[in-house]
């Protein structure tokens, strides 16, 4: 035996209000949507039919009158009394794209603010006018009505406690919010709330006047005066609109809030995912004819068409950047000062934007700020570091040795500098071990005299996995330089793994470690302190070398292992003990 589901309407309304819709205010959007779709259906039969939605607000009630196609008595029974069934579907049940509504639950949203809904309707296809009254307890009645003109009137009897949502001021604001761009006349108590044309539509005005008008529209919409504005157009999705560039820097973690209209009805003020993630510096207002909404009509449905739109809009923002470089270099520099991070993210995968970064974006170098193109021209054999700490530690030393450096330690910079190879504009990364070979050797006589000191330094650094070398280099104010390499870093990881492994694996890793390269503490013979240390008692000299080792680690922002911390503490206490004797 087959049975029909029994629906608890109060439960359905509670589900809508708590889990589908974000706020009761959407009731007016749904009523506007139904009216707009009814007008669309009537104009398909009669293009000259009137296109009006009249909203009348009075204490305790709100009435929405439309000049749409209306419903017959059979349609009233079929559509208004069946949850989830929509008149806006074809014979196979698919939503028809010319209508705003798709899910057959729009009228139910009226129960978010009312305990009774009355509908009076007369169909353009003939027949008598019909009245339908539904209550939030799930009951309804159908009876003849006296309406003479074609169309539909929906009247809500406001429930106690919902008055704030149906006051004249609130209804006017909601009508402007959701329906200001609808291509029909919408009035609230006689005051029109719709605009005659889309704000970004071409008008009889100069480009400068249009730009000024759009910038003002962006200020009113988003609350900031945009840096620039650009047109958006994706014909495959029936999408047009504008993007406004933020006038101040914004991090990539900030969620972009775009304003999206579907067939000129507001979908949401906080749409996400409309632009690629790298374009976090833009805010859009768009109207689309073919994108799909979610059931709540408060977000876009993620599908292949939305992915195509995202790709096309990203390409248009990218083309705007390229045009800016060609037509207004000063504006481009201003933009890059604000939004360099987004451009860098795009440049990782786009050669044209990589050329823009190469030629226009300034980087920190050992010679001061300059573009990468300028850096390559001045220093054909320049290098870049992969961390900010390494740049700060080695910049002065490298400059003294004739090696120019670019700081590639910030987000995306290292990948961009490596990506320059795609443009045949390579800048090689710096291997700190290479720097050691550029530092001048010490005079042979001085090195011979310093052998006892170097032997003491070697004994002090041996437990720390580091070697001591003596060189003669600038700046003379720097007593020691901790220099590692990729191979030495791998050896350090190997040593740490051996310390944490069991006995068998510790022996295996220990055999590998004995052949591995080690980092170096490069002592500067030009530094007066180092020359004085060379003449000290070997035990005291070893303690001083431990102190220099710890200082060099801290100066280079290298991580301190427990053994490094212990050596630093030991050297401090040792030198303090020696000082007070």
- Confidence (pLDDT) at 1: 47
Residue among 390, 366, 348 at smallest CA distance from 484: 390
| C-alpha angle 146-148-154 in degrees, rounded to nearest 5 | 70
CATH class of the region 9-192 = alpha beta
Q: Dihedral (C-alpha) 249, 407, 364, 480: value to the nearest 10 degrees? A: 130
Q: Per residue in 118-132, pLDDT tens?
A: 999 999 988 899 998
Q: Are 279 and 339 in contact (CB under 8 A)?
A: no
- Confidence (pLDDT) at 10: 62
- Chain-centroid distance of CA 344 in Å reads 13
Report the C-alpha gap between 430 and 268 in whole angstroms: 50
Non-local CB neighbours of 511 within 8 Å, separated by 6+ positions:
none
133: phi then psi, degrees, rounded to nearest 5: -125, 120
Question: What's the CATH fold of domain 362-437?
Answer: Rossmann fold (3.40.50)
Q: Taking the alpha carbons of 416, 420, 425, 426 in that order, is the dihedral positive or negative?
A: positive
Report the C-alpha gap between 146 and 503 in whole angstroms: 96
Report the C-alpha gap between 433 and 519 in whole angstroms: 8
For the chain, the structural domain boundaries read: 9-192, 207-326, 362-437, 439-484+519-580, 492-516
- Confidence (pLDDT) at 105: 55
Non-local CB neighbours of 538 within 8 Å, separated by 6+ positions:
452, 453, 455, 456
Residue among 521, 523, 519 at smallest CA distance from 447: 523
Q: Distance between the two ends of the chain, CA-based, in angstroms?
A: 104
Report the C-alpha gap between 358 and 433 in whole angstroms: 28
Low-confidence ranges of the chain (pLDDT < 70): 1-22, 81-106, 251-254, 485-516, 581
Q: Are 245 and 214 in contact (CB under 8 A)?
A: no
Same fold, 9-192 and 362-437: no
- Confidence (pLDDT) at 203: 78
- Confidence (pLDDT) at 111: 83
Q: Which helix (H) or strand (E) holds 339?
A: helix 329-347
Report the C-alpha gap between 500 and 427 in whole angstroms: 38
- Confidence (pLDDT) at 399: 82
Q: Which helix (H) or strand (E) holds 523?
A: strand 520-524
For 577, other C-beta atoms within 10 Å of its C-beta total 10
Tell the residue number behind the tokens 């032997």, with chain if given.
Answer: 455
Q: Are 88 and 102 in contact (CB under 8 A)?
A: yes
Q: Which helix (H) or strand (E) holds 329?
A: helix 329-347
Tell the residue number behind the tokens 């009669």, with chain if given.
Answer: 46
Strand partners, 260: 268, 286
Query: 223: left (phi > 0), else alpha (psi -120 to 50), else beta?
Result: left
Residue 142 three-state SS: strand
Q: Are 491 and 518 in contact (CB under 8 A)?
A: yes
Residue among 4, 80, 2, 8 at smallest CA distance from 38: 80
CATH no. for 439-484+519-580: 1.20.120
SS (H, E, C) 76-134: HHHHHCCCCCCCCECCCCCECCCCCCCCCCCHHHHHHCEEEEEEEEECCCCCCCEEEEE
Strand partners, 441: 471
Q: Taking the alpha carbons of 454, 456, 460, 464 in that order, is the dihedral positive or negative?
A: positive
149: phi then psi, degrees, rounded to nearest 5: -85, 155
- Confidence (pLDDT) at 62: 94
Question: What's the CATH fold of domain 207-326?
Answer: Ribosomal Protein S5; domain 2 (3.30.230)
Q: Are 135 and 157 in contact (CB under 8 A)?
A: no
Report the C-alpha gap between 10 and 20 in whole angstroms: 14
Q: Which helix (H) or strand (E) holds 154?
A: strand 151-158
Residue 405 three-state SS: strand
Q: Are 277 and 348 in contact (CB under 8 A)?
A: no
Q: Which helix (H) or strand (E) holds 480?
A: strand 480-483
Output the DSSP codes for 189-201: TTEE---SS-TTS
Report the C-alpha gap between 97 and 384 in whole angstroms: 55
Rg (CA), the chain: 37
Q: Taking the alpha carbons of 16, 58, 189, 132 in that order, is the dihedral positive or negative?
A: positive
Tell the residue number behind the tokens 């901790």, with chain if given.
Answer: 482
Residue among 432, 443, 401 at smallest CA distance from 521: 432
Q: Per residue in 252-282, pLDDT tens?
A: 566 778 999 999 999 989 898 899 888 889 9
């Amino acid at each position: 035996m087959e049975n029909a589901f029994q629906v608890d309407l109060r439960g359905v309304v509670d589900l809508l209000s708590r889990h589908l819709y974000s706020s009761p205010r959407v009731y007016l959007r749904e009523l506007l949507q139904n009216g707009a779709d009814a007008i669309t259906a009537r104009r398909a039969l009669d293009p000259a039919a009137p296109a009006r939605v009249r909203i009348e607000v009075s204490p305790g009630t709100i009435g929405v009158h439309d000049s749409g196609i209306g419903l017959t008595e059979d349609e009233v029974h079929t559509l208004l009394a069946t949850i989830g069934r929509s008149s806006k579907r074809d014979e196979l049940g698919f939503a028809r794209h010319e209508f705003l509504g798709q899910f057959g639950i729009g009228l139910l949203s009226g129960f978010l603010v009312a305990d009774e809904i009355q509908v009076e309707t007369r169909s353009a296809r003939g027949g008598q006018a019909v009245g339908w009254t539904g209550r939030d307890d799930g009951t309804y009645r159908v009876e003849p009505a006296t309406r003479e003109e074609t169309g539909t009137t929906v009247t809500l009897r406001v429930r106690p406690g919902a008055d704030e949502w149906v006051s004249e001021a609130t209804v006017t604001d909601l009508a402007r919010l959701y329906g200001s761009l609808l291509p029909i006349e919408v009035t609230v108590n006689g005051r029109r709330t719709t605009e005659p044309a889309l704000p970004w539509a071409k008008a009889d005005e100069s480009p400068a006047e249009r730009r000024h008008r759009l910038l003002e529209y962006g200020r009113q919409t988003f609350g900031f005066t945009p840096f620039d504005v650009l047109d958006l157009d994706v014909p495959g999705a029936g999408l047009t609109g504008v993007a406004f560039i933020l006038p101040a820097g914004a991090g990539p973690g900030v969620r972009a809030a775009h304003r999206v209209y579907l067939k000129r009805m507001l979908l949401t003020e906080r749409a996400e995912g409309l632009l690629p993630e790298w374009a976090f510096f833009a805010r859009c207002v768009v109207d689309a004819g073919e994108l799909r909404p979610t059931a709540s009509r408060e977000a876009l449905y993620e599908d292949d068409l939305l992915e195509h739109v995202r790709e096309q809009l990203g390409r248009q923002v990218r083309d705007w950047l390229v045009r800016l470089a060609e037509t207004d270099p000063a504006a481009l520099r201003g933009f890059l000062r604000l939004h360099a991070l987004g451009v860098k993210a795009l440049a990782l995968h786009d050669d044209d934007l990589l050329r823009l970064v190469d030629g226009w974006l300034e980087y920190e170098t050992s010679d001061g700020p300059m573009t990468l193109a300028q850096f390559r021209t001045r220093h054909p054999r320049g290098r870049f570091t992969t961390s900010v700490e390494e740049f700060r530690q080695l910049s002065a030393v490298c400059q003294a040795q004739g090696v120019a450096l670019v700081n590639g330690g910030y987000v995306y910079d290292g990948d961009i500098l490596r990506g320059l190879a795609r443009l045949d504009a390579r800048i090689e990364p710096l291997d700190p071990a290479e720097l050691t070979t550029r530092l001048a050797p010490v005079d042979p006589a001085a090195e011979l005299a310093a052998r006892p000191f170097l032997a003491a330094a070697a004994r002090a650094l041996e437990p720390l996995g580091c070697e001591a070398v003596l060189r003669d280099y600038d700046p003379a104010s720097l007593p020691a330089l901790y220099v590692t390499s990729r191979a030495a870093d791998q050896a350090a990881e190997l040593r740490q793994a051996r310390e944490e492994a069991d006995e068998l694996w510790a022996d295996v890793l220990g055999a590998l470690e004995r052949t591995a390269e080690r980092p170096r503490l490069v002592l500067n013979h030009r530094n007066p302190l180092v020359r004085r240390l060379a003449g000290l008692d070997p035990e005291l000299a070893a303690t001083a070398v431990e102190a220099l080792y710890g200082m060099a680690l801290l100066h280079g922002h290298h991580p301190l292992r427990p053994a490094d911390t212990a050596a630093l503490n030991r050297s401090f206490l040792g030198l303090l003990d020696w000082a007070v004797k």
